[in-house]
Structure formats: structure tokens, C-alpha cells
Homo-oligomer: A and B are copies of this chain.
Amino acid sequence: MEREYLIEKIISLAIEEDINTGDITTNALIPEESRATAEMTAKAPGIVSGLDIALRVFKYIDGTTVWTPLVKEGERVSKGDKIARIEGSYRALLTAERTALNILQRMSGIATATAIFVKELEGTNTRLLDTRKTAPGMRLLDKMAVKAGGATNHRMGLYDMALIKDNHIKVAGGITNAVKQVRASIPAGIKIEVEVTDLNETREALAAGADIIMLDNMTNEAMAEAVKVIDRRAETEASGNMNVQRLKEVAATGVDYISVGALTHSVTALDISMNIVPNK
């Protein structure tokens, strides 16, 4: 499965860049047959994401690793909460530690930030979307973390949804033409979104049969009006310079979705530590 394949690739790449010809310190000092047990602990409050992926890092290096998650994907933890227990080859635990933490801390950081945004939308019908502004190679994992934080995924990439933007429209000679050409070209199961910046464009996109209309960098007032014009005949997405302060009032315009790039392009890692003790 390509999904598994992409995940495998980023894990193997992360391991390869770190380990390369071997963890020369650990290989010199820790006997091959030693086993140990580690615990991961949250050093700050947040939402945990990436448990399955961290496990795969350990398994990648040592297939006999036994992993006992102590929280669930997407669960909130307080400072000091245990996150997981890992039993396995002592060498493998030391060698995999940094790579596993790098992934877990980034994903949990994303989930933690996402949850803050999602909380702002409570009580509205508006859902939070992510964007394609993810770390290179981490698209699937970044988006998985966004989901763990309670938001909805926007398109995964350029292939699974048509998003007609400014440049496309100019070349096609207008929104109507652009939608028509795209519809004739893409497989039958994929929606078309059109980026608009005012009411005229909104009306044209609607008439052209857009499935989703992206209200790009529009004022809250303009968005509210667009939502009224569209009248549920297409879905609506507010986009551009979103931050947690604006979120509630943007939702008040009635848009179906708000998309936020910062969820994944500017991440603060959640502080998580790992303590390893050799088995008796």
C-alpha cells in the first residue's frame, strides 16, 4: 500500500540519515543480546500523536520490540504522564530513541496546536482544515497529527482534488471554462474547488458547477455575503492569514471550512523524554 510505503520511506530515511553505518557508540558498549525497558513521559501538557509511527521506528530496527502504549492516539496528557512503555533490545532502544522522539514530538506538537484551534470552533458548524504546508516527506504524518488534534484533512496533494487558482483561471480564460475543462479531464470521483476573491467570481464558480468554493483573503463581511449567495449549493472554505484570534468570527460567516497553514508549517515540538533501564 502506497500509504504504508510513504510512511515506511520517511521512517527508513529518518533512520538512515541518523544511523548510516551504525550507532558506533552503542555497538561498542552494549552487548548485542542485552534487553532493556524504556518509558516515554510527557514533559509538558498536550495531545499525543504518532504512537503507531514511533512504534514502527523501534520495530524497523528490532522486530522483537514490544510496545505498550499508555495513552491513545489523540489523547490529552498532562506533564509527567507516561505515554508508552517499550521493551526490546537495549541496543535498538538506544539507537532508535532520537528518531522515534523526533517523530513523536513533532506530531504531538501539531496535534496540540490543532486542538487549540479546534476548541475555538466548538459550537459552530465550521470545520478546521489543514493545508499542503507540511514538512517535506512528512505529509501523511503531519496530516495524521492534524486529525488526531480534531481537524479535517484538506486534499492530501495535487492529485486527489482539483483546486483551480488564479493562474489556472487566467490561462483557461475564465472560471467557467476552467471548471469545464477540468471536469472533462479528471476521474469521475474527484471534486473541483475554485479559488475566488469576490462575489462576482463566487457567482461564476457556483454557476460553473464548482463543488467547493475557496474564499481567499476576503473580509469577514464579504465571506458572509458569499455564503449567503452560495446557499449550500456548494461547500465553502475560508482561507488566508488565519490565526487563532480570528477563528471565531470567521466561523460566524457561516463557511463550512477554515484552513490554517501554520498548523503544520510552524510547529513547536511537544517535549517528551525517554528513560531506558536495562532488564535484570
**In the complex, what distance in Å separates the CA atom of A16 from the CA atom of B16?**
13
Contact, CB under 8 Å: A14 / B136:
yes
In order of increasing CB-CB distance, the 4 nearest A-B pairs are: A161-B189, A14-B136, A28-B185, A20-B159
**In the complex, what distance in Å separates the CA atom of A178 from the CA atom of B61?**
24
Q: Which residues of B contact A268 (CB under 8 A)?
A: 266
**In the complex, what distance in Å separates the CA atom of A94 from the CA atom of B235?**
25
Task: Choose from B3, B13, B30, B109 the contact partner of A136 (Cβ within 8 Å).
Answer: B13
Task: Choose from B1, B133, B167 the contact partner of A269 (Cβ within 8 Å).
Answer: B133
Instruction: Indicate whether A1 sits within 8 Å of B61 (C-beta atoms), given known contacts A21-B140, A21-B156, A139-B18.
Output: yes
Q: Which residues of B contact A102 (CB under 8 A)?
A: 132-136, 265
Q: Which residues of B contact A234 (CB under 8 A)?
A: none
**Is A182's beta carbon under 8 Å from chain B?**
yes
Contact, CB under 8 Å: A13 / B10:
yes
Task: Choose from B6, B94, B155, B269 the contact partner of A13 (Cβ within 8 Å).
Answer: B6
Task: Choose from B103, B172, B186, B188 the contact partner of A24 (Cβ within 8 Å).
Answer: B186
Stoichiometry (number of copies): 6
**In the complex, what distance in Å separates the CA atom of A201 from the CA atom of B11?**
36
Q: Show 29 residue pairs from A and B whose CB-CB distance is below 8 angstroms, ordered by the A residue.
A: A2-B19, A2-B159, A3-B19, A3-B22, A6-B13, A6-B17, A11-B136, A18-B158, A24-B190, A25-B163, A25-B182, A26-B158, A28-B184, A29-B172, A29-B181, A31-B171, A34-B171, A98-B133, A106-B135, A133-B269, A136-B138, A136-B141, A155-B188, A160-B190, A161-B189, A167-B276, A189-B191, A189-B193, A266-B269
Best-buried of A135, A138, A170, A181 by chain B (most CB within 10 Å): A135
Given contact pairs A2-B20, A14-B137, A18-B157, enumerate 9 new A-B contacts (beta carbons under 8 Å).
A1-B15, A3-B22, A9-B13, A24-B158, A25-B164, A94-B168, A99-B136, A188-B257, A266-B268
Quote the shortest CB–CB distance from A219 to chain B (angstroms): 20
Q: Which residues of B contact A14 (CB under 8 A)?
A: 136-137, 139
Contact, CB under 8 Å: A22 / B159:
yes
**Is A199's beta carbon under 8 Å from chain B?**
no
Q: Which residues of B contact A10 (CB under 8 A)?
A: 13, 136-137
Contact, CB under 8 Å: B188 / A137:
no
Q: Which residues of B contact A138 (CB under 8 A)?
A: 135-137
**In the complex, what distance in Å separates the CA atom of A259 from the CA atom of B6?**
31
Q: Which residues of B contact A168 (CB under 8 A)?
A: 25-26, 29-30, 94
**Is A80's beta carbon under 8 Å from chain B?**
no
Chain B residue at smallest Cβ distance from A11: B136
